Structure 1
Amino acid sequence: MGQTTSTALITSRRDSNLSSQRSKSKFTVPIIPMQVEEQTEYVLVEAPDYISDLPDECLACVFQSLSSGDRKRCSLVCRRWLRIEGQSRHRLSLNAQSDLLPFVTSLFSRFDAVTKLALKCDRRSVSIGDEALVAISIRCRNLTRLKLRACRELTDAGMAAFAKNCKALKKLSCGSCTFGAKGMNAILDNCASLEDLSVKRLRGITDGATAEPIGPGLAAASLKTICLKELYNGQCFGPLIIGSKNLKTLKLFRCSGDWDKLLQVIADRVTGMVEVHLERLQVSDTGLVAISNCLNLEILHLVKTPECTDIGLVSIAERCRLLRKLHIDGWKAHRIGDDGLMAVAKYCLNLQELVLIGVNPTQISLELLASNCQNLERLALCGSDTVGDVEISCIAAKCVALKKLCIKSCPVSDHGLEALANGCPNLVKVKVKKCRAVTYECADLLRMKRGSLAVNLDSGEPEHQDASASDGGVQENGGEFHSVPNQMPLPSIAPSSTGRSTSFKSRLGLWNGKSFAACTFRGWLSGNSSSRG
């Protein structure tokens, strides 16, 4: 009897010790019962820590598949995760206010593998200066992409020092900065691998009388894309453009001055261009005739260039027979019409995308386009007084390959839209905006007859609009550098802001006459908008 009591006491103490061990254990695991002399004993089995055994490279791949917020949260789990997350981050976007300088060393000691960097400052704040940019360049010598926004404290000296440290740069985008020609030339002289240059509102080159020429530099041999926006003296980039023998894409937006003579020299020296954008530019048929020397031209945008007429477009069509995408905003000038479009239909048989805004094509040119351009997949007709039911019926009957159709502010009624029910066998999407004679009943009927067809109708009447159609599908895309998605905030720096809300930007874009069709096609074609297709 006494032996039994003693055994029970020992077993009780053993169970108590086991319970204490379980409460202190790091892992909670199932308890495995074991039979020992008719008493139940519990033994803990420690679960293996698979994550700790995972190689750093595998863990880095996991981090790279996470969103920016999830990466930040995961980096706080332990020191190892913090280290690996920092070493595996290649893209970084920072609020480039002046108080960034004290954090540069610690930030880029952690993010020492960054190759794509965006430095953005809002217009109400003081931006980083040369000291911070040089410090960044010392720690990011493998940088391949740099985006500068409103960094108004940067000077030519800072850009020159940056260029000497980051010679592997391939893409530079700068907007609303104040450095000038010397700083830009330093980039071109040192960054021999530069392929993409985008400059918007560069304040340091506004003196037209004594402006220093920019380029060509060592980068001219590798440059493939040049984009100039809102430059008072953008023609000082002429030596760079002319010297870029391998240039494929040239985009000129709202740059003052007469560009005809410069385009003549450019087109004579750089004949391999495949994409040209001209928007709100002082250019005439003389410039278009010059561009027609680029026999490999595939994409042409003529937006609000009222001096361009059918003569220039005919010259382009006759010589640039590889044309795939043509965007024309005639600005209601009525100088481009059937003659130019019939030339396009006659010679540009590979045409896949056609956007006409403020142009008045008739059934004659549309029928010829539909008959000859058998690869036409995307068509937009906006603000055209001559595009009615007859023209839409013609498109429905002739455009066999058409997949996406956009109609805005045209005298089209239900009768014209109904023709799409039996036409365009490959049509997958139709957008109709501000065509008051088209009713929602007709749109519903079209959906019923063609179940796979997406119909987006905005008649322009507020009482019939819903939240999904209130903007007509318009999406403004204001930036040209979108490859820095991961935002890493600093402890004492407020989140980056441009000072304007998205809704305000979209409204402002509409007030300034931004093209509904261009925005619509930008959304449709975001996946295949490269110059080579």
Structure 2
Amino acid sequence: MKKPNKKRQLQIQQKKQKTFIMDTLFCDELLIEIFHRLPPPSAVAVSLVSRRWRRLLRSSTTSLSLNFPPPYNPTTISSLSSFLRQHPFLSSLSAAAPALCGDGGILLSVAASCPNLRHLQLSSSPVSALSLYNFSNSCKHLSSISLAVSRPLSFNWMSCFKSLRCLSLSIKNPLAETDDSSLGSVKDAIFDVELSLESLSLSGISPRDYGVGFLWRNCKNVRKLQLKSCESVGDYSSFSDFLRLANDLQELELRSCRSIANLVMLTLCENCVSLNSLLIYDGGSREGLLQFLNQSKCSLRNLDFRLPLDLDNSHMIALSENLHFRGLMSLRLQCCCFVTGEGLKAVGRALGGALEELSLINCDVVEREHGLLTTLGQDLRKLKRLDLSYNDMLHDKEVVSMLASCDCLVELRLRGCSRLSDAAVDVMVRRCKQLQRVDIAYCSGIGVQGVEFFVLNAPCLRRVEVEQSKLSEAAMARASDRFMQVVC
């Protein structure tokens, strides 16, 4: 019989002694403070040290993110309740459970175990209005909810959440031909009450979802509105009144909402003067947007467009001529196929005194018109953030000529610009002394030496995004010494 290795036994014994000392030497308060200062991945290791450490870690945890992969196990819900009770100070919970939430199972567990919860996000099958109503009786302190709901829509459960400020709802289940969706709006009209929502996000609204009118009638203080993949706004009359009375609306996002974009833009340009941020992706109204840019009296600060087929020079000219937009600080354009240098130069001349962020992502005008970037750099002297990502035909000369005028840059993103070389990196270091964040990932022309030169010589660099294979030992050592964040 093989004798035990004495050296191995000694190592195990010493390890146990160290663990015992660590487990008994520090008081609970000190250990909790140490736990809070550790990076998130270390939590798994902490829970394995001892039962005391695991108990302290769970009792001091305020935020959890859980994932329940298939197949579904009936004991999961009961186990979840027990697990959540070990986190008495939990205030934020995110759970992904595609097969568990259809009957409100997770909501029941949360309601029984987390009475002090403030933020809840569920990625699951749709939850019924009845489940939400029962849930609202237990977790009344919630300030943020994000989940999927089922048709027919009913929102009488919202009156119980007095602290609710942020609501994100995704409508997923199909609407049956025999469903009378107007019934939900009639029932909810009885429960009309002014809500204190400041942020509202809705996804998947269909033409017969009249129940959404409850939200339009009762959300008078919304500052941020997000609409995603919506074919309709449900009750058009209530929605129009909502926009006309939305004196506090500051941010609007439309994503894949071509069917309603024209209505929204025309109503906004007539009424809303408080808007300062507008985002429209993947489907807009060329005429409605043009009228908004020509006639709007709101003082926009941020514009973000991804409209390959709906954005052209006329919109850029209108943007440059509207005096109310002279304070615009951020302009982000993606895939702007029909915008030419003429339109961008007009914007540069008009907004050069205020614009601090410019993004031209995957815009072939950057590659098509030589000298455009040089002109923009000369006009936009206050530029602090520049994003030219995914312009794969962009050459060193164009970038270098623009950077020569951009002395105030703190953030530069060139991801996917495969034609750039180490020569561009040299100019970044020499001309952009204030650079703090740089993204040069997937720039195949920039090699190990270029990355090393940048990391070693950029005086203010705090974050760099680049492939792992391009990081030399010297670059990694320098990044570690300066507590630089390296993202691969």
Q: Does the alignment reach a TM-score above 0.5?
A: yes
Partner residue, 1:394: 375
TM-score normalised over the length of structure 2: 0.72
Partner residue, 1:174: 147
Partner residue, 1:479: none
Partner residue, 1:374: 353
Alpha carbons 1:351, 1:373 under 8 Å: kept? no
Partner residue, 2:172: 202
Quick one: which of 384, 389, 406 aligns to 1:424? 406
The superposition leaves residues 462-488 of structure 1 with CA deviations (integer Å, 9 ceiling, x where unpaired) of x75889x9xxxxxxxxxxxxxxxxxxx
Pair 1:138–1:416, CA change in 2 (3 A):
same
Q: Cα offset for 1:57?
A: 3.5
Q: Cα offset for 1:248?
A: 0.4
What's the secondary structure of 1:146's corresponding residue?
Answer: strand
Distance (Å, rounded) in 1 between the aligned partners of 2:354 and 2:88: 48
The superposition leaves residues 414-442 of structure 1 with CA deviations (integer Å, 9 ceiling, x where unpaired) of 54323224212212444446778x55265
Quick one: which of 218, 221, 230 aligns to 1:246? 221
Alpha carbons 1:195, 1:225 under 8 Å: kept? yes
What's the secondary structure of 1:419's corresponding residue?
Answer: helix
Letter in 1 for 2:356: E
Distance (Å, rounded) in 2 between the aligned partners of 1:466 and 1:150: 44
The superposition leaves residues 138-176 of structure 1 with CA deviations (integer Å, 9 ceiling, x where unpaired) of 222112111111245x5433222111111111111114x
Q: Cα offset for 1:269?
A: 1.9
Partner residue, 1:298: 276
Pair 1:377–1:155, CA change in 2 (3 A):
same
Alpha carbons 1:89, 1:114 under 8 Å: kept? yes
Alpha carbons 1:300, 1:325 under 8 Å: kept? yes
Where in structure 2 are the equivalents of 1:101-500 lying within 5 Å? 101-122=77-98, 125-127=99-101, 129-131=103-105, 133-151=107-125, 154-175=127-148, 178=150, 181-182=153-154, 184-186=155-157, 188-203=158-173, 210-211=180-181, 212-213=184-185, 220-232=194-206, 236-257=211-232, 263-281=239-257, 282-292=259-269, 293-309=271-287, 311-315=290-294, 318-321=296-299, 323-334=300-311, 336-344=314-322, 346-357=323-334, 358=336, 359-363=338-342, 365-384=344-363, 386-387=365-366, 388-407=369-388, 408-409=390-391, 413-432=395-414, 439-440=420-421, 443-444=424-425, 446-447=427-428, 449-450=430-431, 452=433, 454=438, 456=440
Letter in 2 for 1:61: E
- 1:85 correspondence with 2:67: no
Alpha carbons 2:396, 2:420 under 8 Å: kept? yes
The superposition leaves residues 291-313 of structure 1 with CA deviations (integer Å, 9 ceiling, x where unpaired) of 23222211101223342335323
Matched residues, number: 415
Q: Cα offset for 1:320?
A: 0.6
Stretch moving more, 425-434 or 98-107:
425-434
Distance (Å, rounded) in 2 between the aligned partners of 1:465 and 1:456: 8
Alpha carbons 1:367, 1:398 under 8 Å: kept? no
Distance (Å, rounded) in 2 between the aligned partners of 1:224 and 1:207: 34
Q: Cα offset for 1:100?
A: 1.3
What's the secondary structure of 1:397's corresponding residue?
Answer: helix
What's the secondary structure of 1:203's corresponding residue?
Answer: coil
Alpha carbons 2:228, 2:254 under 8 Å: kept? yes
Q: Cα offset for 1:266?
A: 1.8
> Which structure would you say has the larger RCO, counting Cα contacts within 8 Å and 6 or more residues apart?
1
Pair 1:206–1:241, CA change in 2 (3 A):
farther
Partner residue, 2:37: 65
What's the secondary structure of 2:141's corresponding residue?
Answer: coil
Alpha carbons 2:32, 2:60 under 8 Å: kept? yes
Distance (Å, rounded) in 1 between the aligned partners of 2:364 and 2:89: 56
Letter in 1 for 2:440: N
What's the secondary structure of 2:75's corresponding residue?
Answer: helix
Pair 1:205–1:115, CA change in 2 (3 A):
farther
Distance (Å, rounded) in 2 between the aligned partners of 1:114 and 1:415: 54
Q: Cα offset for 1:74?
A: 3.0
Pair 1:209–1:311, CA change in 2 (3 A):
farther
Distance (Å, rounded) in 1 between the aligned partners of 2:263 and 2:40: 50
What's the secondary structure of 1:134's corresponding residue?
Answer: helix
What's the secondary structure of 2:120's corresponding residue?
Answer: strand
Alpha carbons 1:337, 1:361 under 8 Å: kept? no
Task: Kindly name which structure, 1 or 2, has the bigger radius of gyration based on alpha carbons.
Answer: 1
Q: Cα offset for 1:49?
A: 6.7
Alpha carbons 1:367, 1:394 under 8 Å: kept? no
Alpha carbons 2:213, 2:239 under 8 Å: kept? no
Matched residues, percent identical?
A: 19
Where in structure 2 are the equivalents of 1:496-511 lying within 5 Å? none
Distance (Å, rounded) in 2 between the aligned partners of 1:434 and 1:229: 31
Report the RMSD for the aligned CA atoms in angstroms: 3.9
Letter in 1 for 2:255: E
Partner residue, 1:493: none
Pair 1:429–1:93, CA change in 2 (3 A):
closer
Alpha carbons 2:331, 2:359 under 8 Å: kept? yes
The superposition leaves residues 44-94 of structure 1 with CA deviations (integer Å, 9 ceiling, x where unpaired) of xxxx97964755334323223334453344344444433322221222233
Pair 1:261–1:69, CA change in 2 (3 A):
same
Distance (Å, rounded) in 1 between the aligned partners of 2:21 and 2:426: 60
Alpha carbons 2:153, 2:212 under 8 Å: kept? no
Distance (Å, rounded) in 1 between the aligned partners of 2:318 and 2:93: 44
Partner residue, 1:6: none
Letter in 2 for 1:393: T
Unpaired runs of at least 5, structure 2: 1-12, 451-488
Pair 1:307–1:339, CA change in 2 (3 A):
same
Distance (Å, rounded) in 1 between the aligned partners of 2:15 and 2:316: 79
Q: Cα offset for 1:455?
A: 7.1
Alpha carbons 1:375, 1:401 under 8 Å: kept? yes
Letter in 2 for 1:347: H
Letter in 2 for 1:400: R
Stretch moving more, 328-337 or 223-232:
328-337
What's the secondary structure of 1:283's corresponding residue?
Answer: helix
Letter in 2 for 1:425: D
Letter in 1 for 2:380: C
